[in-house]
Amino acid sequence: MTSDTPAATASVETASRRTIMVVEDEVLVRLGTASDLRAAGYDVLEAADAQEALAILDAGITVDLVFSDVHLPGPIDGIALAALLRARHPAVAVVLTSGLPLPPTVEALGLRGFMPKPYTAMDLLRLLGERLG
CATH number at residue 97: 3.40.50.2300
With a cut of 90, say whether residue 70 has pLDDT above it.
yes
Give the count of domains, the chain. Answer: 1
Least confident of 29-33, 77-81, 105-109: 105-109
pLDDT (tens digit per residue) in 24-65: 999 999 999 999 999 999 999 999 999 999 999 999 999 999
Taking a C-beta distance cutoff of 8 angstroms, is the pair 94, 53 a contact?
no
Q: Which amino acid is at 130?
A: E
Q: Which of 74, 76, 10 is nearest to 39 (CA)?
A: 10
Taking a C-beta distance cutoff of 8 angstroms, is the pair 69, 96 a contact?
yes
Q: Which of 41, 47, 88, 39 is nearest to 66 (CA)?
A: 47
| pTM confidence score | 0.87
Taking a C-beta distance cutoff of 8 angstroms, is the pair 82, 69 a contact?
no
Q: What residue numbers bound the domain in which 73 lies? A: 5-132
- Predicted pLDDT of residue 67: 98
The three state secondary structure string of the chain is CECCHHHHHHHHHHHCCCEEEEECCCHHHHHHHHHHHHHCCCEEEEECCHHHHHHHHHCCCCCCEEEEECCCCCCCCHHHHHHHHHHHCCCCEEEEEECCCCCHHHHHHCCCCEEECCCEHHHHHHHHHHHHC
